[in-house]
Amino acid sequence: MKKITILGSTGSIGTSAIDVIRAHRDEFQIVAMSAHGNHKLLMEQIEEFNPIYVSIGTEEGRRAIEERYPELTVYMGEEGLKKLGALDEADIVLTAVSGNVGIEATVEAVKKGKRIALANKETLVCAGELINKMVEEYGAEIIPVDSEHSALFQSLESGRREEVSKLIITASGGPFRGRTTKDLEKVKLEDALKHPNWAMGRKITIDSSTLVNKGLEVIEAHYLFGIDYEDIEVVVHPQSIVHSLVEFRDRSVIAQLGITDMKVPIQYAFTYPERGENNLTERLDLVKLSRLDFEAPDMEVFKGLKFAFEAGKIGMSMPLIYNTANEVAVDLFLQGKIQYLDIYRIIEEAMGKHTPVELKNIEQIKEIDRSLRDEIYRKY
């Protein structure tokens, strides 16, 4: 029986993970889970899975849970997430919170030498170097959940790291593929929230439309697999069937393909190195698809990707700035306080003003994050 902690059990990845666990109750057991605002759904999940610990983001939620489940240990907020990350009872910690609030909980899990099923890409973007060092030091293990990184991880199994010549990350191109900058000026929130292939949380859906999501994935891939940015290519593939590819030095290219369902990479991160059965009815049907298309990304219009390569190549604290500026900008856009293209303006300005520094510890990362957040929120 593998014991699992889910950070962000009420989100899009969290509920897909719950589906995976529900379909394999003899293999997986939930020991802890966390939510932020949605304590109603968390209480339904407690009812069904009977965890030992939970963490919740609001005082109202805490009171409601403690009243109904007096036996349960209830933690709160970011401290609560950290507590869940460090639990001795768990073998695997799935990090499926949105944004960089998950960093410290991930660090706690790393320090306990656990397997981290990593969905939260912001963590490695902000603290990649530090986390990699700690993973080595504490003998922890990171198995990617993001579909592209799971595909790269699986494709990399067919060769040694020094034999890799290129990572090719696919991108759906989002809902605005083919548009001009002028078209993007008029984008409304509801247009940006419609993703062609994947049903996801609101923040990542906006990120997919700006290609910031792909940018975060490029930086995440760099830290996960130790490949230089010069050797990472992004290709737009509107059908999202080829999840990503690895080119080896003999020019052999290995790809991973599949249906667009996050339950597949989530389950693989739980079962790796084995592959379990699953009860999905949908299967890849190449004849029905009949064609797969590929094109170059337009980095002049979708600057989210261009800025990521720039931030990644500069390194040090620049990817953190790129991520924090984007998190705040997307939040402001979701609140209707800024226009769509202001997201790029905010990222560009933050990166332009920043003098990169070496990141030595998590406190320093939190401080840089906090001061940039305050600065941007004050302005808008």
Least distance in Å: CB of 65 to ligand NDP? 12
Known binding residue 11? Answer is: yes
Closer Cβ to ligand NDP, 40 or 313, answer by number: 40
The Cα 53–Cα 73 span in angstroms is 5
The conformation of residue 7, written as its DSSP 8-state character, comes to: E
Select from ligand NDP, Mg ion, none the partner in contact with residue 122, using the beta carbon and a kind-dependent cut-off of 5 to 8 Å.
ligand NDP
Q: Of Mg ion, ligand NDP, none, which one sits near residue 220, judging by CB under 5 to 8 A according to partner kind?
A: none
**Cα 246 to Cα 253: distance, rounded to the nearest angstrom:** 6
DSSP sequence for 36-62: SS-HHHHHHHHHHH--SEEEES-HHHH
**Residue 186 annotated as binding site:** no
Structure tokens given for 49: 């899975």
CB nearer to Mg ion: pick between 108 and 220: 220
129 is in an annotated binding site: no
Give the residues lining the site for ligand NDP (CB under 6 A): 8-14, 35-38, 57, 81, 96-98, 101, 119-122, 146, 198, 200-204, 262
Among 119, 137, 113, CA closest to 14: 119
Q: Which does 149 bind (CB under 5 to 8 A by kind): Mg ion, ligand NDP, none?
A: none
Q: How far is the CB of 377 from Mg ion (least distance, A)?
A: 27
- From 204, 234, 236, select the one nearest 222 (Cα to Cα): 234
208 among annotated binding-site residues: yes
Collapsing DSSP to helix, strand or coil, 2 comes out as: strand
Task: Please provide the DSSP assignment of 97-151 as one string.
Answer: -SSGGGHHHHHHHHHTT-EEEE--HHHHHHHHHHHHHHHHHHT-EEEE-SHHHHH
Is residue 290 within 8 A of residue 239, CB to CB? The reply is no
Residue 166 touches which of Mg ion, ligand NDP, none (Cβ within 5-8 Å per kind):
none
Binding-site string for Mg ion from residue 145 to residue 174, where x marks contact by CB under 5 A and - marks none? -xxx--------------------------
Are 172 and 198 a contacting pair, CB within 8 Å?
yes
Of these partners, ligand NDP, Mg ion, none, which one is at the site of residue 19 (CB under 5 to 8 Å by kind)? none
* CB of 151 vs Mg ion, minimal distance in Å: 9
* Residues of each annotated binding site for Mn(2+): 146, 148, 217
* Residues found near Mg ion in the complex (CB under 5 A): 146-148
User: Residues within the annotated binding site for 1-deoxy-D-xylulose 5-phosphate?
Assistant: 121, 147-148, 172, 195, 208, 213-214, 217
Query: Which residues carry a binding-site annotation?
Result: 10-13, 38, 120-122, 146-148, 172, 195, 201, 208, 213-214, 217
